[in-house]
Amino acid sequence: MSSRSPGQPHLSVVTPLYNCLPLSQAMVASLRATIPPGVRYEVILVDDGSTDGTRKWLESLGEPFRVVLNERNIGFGAATNRGAALARGRVLALLNNDLVLKPGWLGPMLWALRLLGPRAGLVGNVQLDAANGEVDHAGIAVNEKGKPEHIRSVPGRVSRLMRPIRGVFAVTGACLLVRTKTWRRLGGFDESYVNGCEDVDLCLRASAAGLVNVVALGSRVVHHISASPGRKLRDEQNSWSLARRWRERLAQEICREWTWDYFCQILPDPRDFPDTRDALKTALYLLHLYRKPPEVALVVKRAVVDVELARWQKMFSS
């Protein structure tokens, strides 16, 4: 069944555009070339106030493309929400306009959604930096300062065959899949973030709802990173907003290594543990059998996050 067949599409691709016409054209060409035969799909392109000829080009596109024209630039999150609100497919694919999609990118991501079933949150993939071909994204983790950062390593070939998906803290919104009903249940992107952190915030809301965010390690795309004008202008403000909202979650994420060191120091004399229950919970936490870190670790790591919060508070109150 072709993409032009009648009926509800299975896949709704949503892509905001803001200038960068040659990159948008290359992304669309790669999309046409890599959607597997038999997948019914639609592409919703949301132009966010382009002034470089993008709108003229959009006039030339027919099925399966749908075009939304914003009267002014409203930002990545809001533009994506506007496009996603029109989606008719059961699965949403959020794609940046500065991607080059590689053959076989879609199948592993759809497989991950099916494998996880009702537990599926957001599914990301491996993204290669167009400038040098190196891995720029294989998921998002949290560093020792409590800040999200890209994972830039992937397991070896044998490991990927044995475990083709990897659970992660978050994935980037540059290329992700999510069930449309899940997107709508979570409320889409929070538009208070301006061109940054809205993807991490959405992943955290998915986790809080009991869903699992993963990277499909067999899916690869090329990314012209941060090509859109103004992409990085509000990074600090966005990070501050994310940390204020998710302080406790960020602290929890960076507890494990500290807890292991703490456990090793106390283990020679277990009497140093506050009580035997504390020791047991700590051991179960380190074995990934108990979700909550010990309170002693949380106290330390909350203080780490608070250092960054104080820095941002000073930066934006001056």
CATH number (domain holding residue 190): 3.90.550.10
Q: Is residue 2 part of a domain?
A: no
Q: Are residues 302 and 231 in the same domain?
A: no
Q: Are residues 228 and 293 in the same domain?
A: no
One domain for residues 228 and 89: yes
Count of structural domains within the chain:
2
Vertex 237 angle, CA 233 and 241, to 5° = 145
Residue 305 has pLDDT above 80, yes or no: yes
Written as six digits, the tokens of 36 are: 């597997």
Question: Is there a domain that residue 1 lies in?
Answer: no
At which of 245, 269, 299 does a domain end?
A: 245
pLDDT at residue 275 greater than cutoff 60: yes
Predicted confidence band of residue 5 (pLDDT cuts 50, 70, 90)? very low
What's the mean pLDDT in 29-35?
97
Which H or E run contains 269?
none
Extended beta strands in 65-119, E state: 65-69, 91-95, 99-101
| H or E element in which residue 307 lies | helix 295-317
Per residue in 88-105, pLDDT (tens digit) is: 999 999 999 999 999 999
The closest of 199, 28, 25 to 101, measured between CA atoms, is 28
Same domain, 30 and 143: yes
Shared domain check, 254 and 215: no
Is 4 within a domain? no
- Count of positions (residues) in the chain: 318
Residue 5 within a domain: no
Q: What is the pLDDT of residues 278-298, one digit of tens each?
A: 778 888 999 999 989 999 999
Whether residues 63 and 202 share a domain: the answer is yes
Q: Are residues 89 and 71 in the same domain?
A: yes
Q: Would the pLDDT of 230 be above 70? A: no
Question: Domain end: 184, 213, 245, which one?
Answer: 245
Q: Kindly tell me the burial class for residue 177, based on how many C-beta atoms sit within 10 Å of its own C-beta (0-12, 13-18, 19 or more).
A: buried
Last residue in a domain, options 245, 260, 281: 245
pLDDT in tens, 159-182: 999 999 999 999 999 999 999 999
Do 174 and 288 lie in one domain? The reply is no
**Residue 103, in any domain of the structure:** yes
pLDDT at 277: 77
Q: Are 10 and 39 in contact (CB under 8 A)?
A: yes
Domain extent for 19:
11-245
Task: Give me the pLDDT at residue 317, please.
Answer: 84
pLDDT band at 267 (very low <50, low <70, confident <90, very high): confident
Answer whether the bond into residue 9 is a cis peptide, omega within 30°.
no
Residues 126 and 260 in one domain: no
Q: What pLDDT band is residue 2 in, cutting at 50, 70 and 90? A: very low
Whether residue 196 is contained in a domain is answered as: yes
101 is a domain residue: yes
Q: Are residues 183 and 280 in the same domain?
A: no
